[in-house]
Amino acid sequence: MADDAAGAGQPEALDQDVMQSLLDITRRINAEVDPDAVLGTIVDSLVSLVAADRGFLMLRGDDGNLEFAIARDKKGEPLEEKKFRVSSGVVDEVAESGETRLIDDAAASDAYNARMSIVSLSLRTILCVPLKTSHGVIGVIYVDSNAITRRFTENDVPLIEAFAAQAAATVDRVRLQQAERERDRMAAQLSVASDIQKTFLPSTFPPKEGVRGAVASVAALEVGGDFYDVLSLPGGRVGFLVGDVSGKGVPGALFGARLMSDVRYQALYRDDVAETLSHVNDIVAERATRGMFVTMFYGVLDPASGELEYGNAGHLAPLIRAPDGSLTEWLEPAGVPLGILPGTRYEAGRRSLAPGETLVVLSDGPADAVGAGGERFGDDRVHATLKASSGEPDALVSGLLQAVAEFTGNRPQADDQTLLAIALA
């Protein structure tokens, strides 16, 4: 579509020389792989091809709005966005309609004479073309000239539209390649992060005199926000913990790794469950950003006596599986998650773990796992699976993970699944 075109009749077809120039430019554009170089080549080529004074390119951002990409003059010199004044009305109309706009004499145009952005620029001629792909309009390219000797006409439209089609395809290709490279880079980094996380999360329950145990964790992403640990404490006691950071992925994993180090230090230095949780809470509250917090269960078992001291900072209540398969929840004591209220003092509970009983500590991942039709695995299935197990720590952990996997059909899950089971030897 054109306004105030200087010339009548149908636009002329592209002649052989122009086609050859267009092909040469297309080859030059397609040879570029760097996104910035591609955009610069596109604008420079179009300015040269239509003998314009200036060229300007805008692309749609992730939010769908047009964003400044690049502007050049006829000498190939860059023009700063704040100094490159164009008619935003023309640009917006082309982006919205997906149709080319030709304004032969902008200052005199009846359609645009009210647009002070055009009048004040004293522009004589404008061509604005959409960059269209199968995804829609991905941007706009704009050239103008105020030289009396160069006025765009309808005959320029086929050329600039043919150029814009090639430019749009190239921009789309480079964007896809850039996105693929970024995905590959992120995948490589996540793979390394996953390997690193495995070095500080014990792959199996470490051998401890007087106890039997099992532990496993299945991350929803390459790396998870769940963490767990088993500690050797003075007097032959065994410390163990399961935690869940509110953030997932790499941020959650990094936060959890740092927190594990804090817990180890505080556990050895304080040698008291309540004091350990209270001081770790203050550390998390001081360090947490963007509203991150942590739920955690921490217990200390004396294998010689079966006495267990434990504290719960907003985590799921642990389960005791008796030899007959019955389950009991230890609901008390319970405190708020770590990092929410600085200065919170946590309480410790004390119970005995009898021979044949197994303590099971879970994150909320198994119960929240989703199967066909969006149905949750749920607490009832968790409890039924644990009751049906042999009661050995290894069997409880592996059996529950297998049941969840069969229920979900190994569909991608939104939350990490972590299980720890411990019993007297």
**Are residues 290 and 420 located together in one domain of the fold?**
yes
Which tokens hold the place of 240?
């163990």
DSSP character string of 235-300:
GG-EEEEEEEESS-HHHHHHHHHHHHHHHHHHHHHH--HHHHHHHHHHHHHHH--TT--EEEEEEE
- What DSSP element (H or E) covers 394? helix 393-408
In a domain, 350, yes or no: yes
Q: Following CA atoms 41, 43, 49, 51 in sequence, which dihedral angle do they give, to the nearest 10 degrees? A: -130
**Are residues 284 and 316 located together in one domain of the fold?**
yes
**Are residues 108 and 216 located together in one domain of the fold?**
no
pLDDT in tens, the chain (425 residues): 444 443 333 445 556 666 667 677 777 776 666 777 888 888 888 888 888 888 888 898 888 888 888 888 888 888 876 666 666 778 889 999 999 998 876 555 545 544 545 444 555 688 899 999 888 999 999 888 875 667 888 888 888 888 888 888 888 888 887 777 777 776 665 565 556 555 566 678 888 999 999 999 887 765 567 888 999 999 999 999 998 888 666 666 677 778 888 888 898 888 899 999 999 999 888 876 666 788 999 999 999 999 999 999 999 999 999 999 999 999 888 899 998 888 999 999 999 999 999 999 999 889 999 988 889 999 999 999 999 998 899 999 999 999 999 999 877 777 888 999 999 99
**Are residues 216 and 314 located together in one domain of the fold?**
yes
**What's the start-to-end Cα distance of the chain, in Å?**
84
| 159: CATH | 3.30.450.40
User: Among residues 149, 180, 211, which one ends one of the domains?
Assistant: 180
User: Among residues 145, 180, 215, which one ends one of the domains?
Assistant: 180
Order of strands, edge to edge, in the sheet holding 211-218? 211-218, 417-424, 358-362, 319-321, 327-329
Q: 49: domain range?
A: 16-180
**Are residues 168 and 208 located together in one domain of the fold?**
no
**Are residues 310 and 367 located together in one domain of the fold?**
yes
In a domain, 193, yes or no: no
Cross-strand partners of 242: 228, 297
Distance between CA atoms of residues 153 and 103, nearest Å:
8
With beta carbons less than 8 A apart as the criterion, state whether 376 and 369 touch.
yes
DSSP character string of 67-119:
EEEEEEETTS-B--GGG----HHHHHHHHHH---EEESSTTT-TTTTT-HHHH
**Are residues 27 and 155 located together in one domain of the fold?**
yes
**Are residues 253 and 393 located together in one domain of the fold?**
yes
In a domain, 278, yes or no: yes
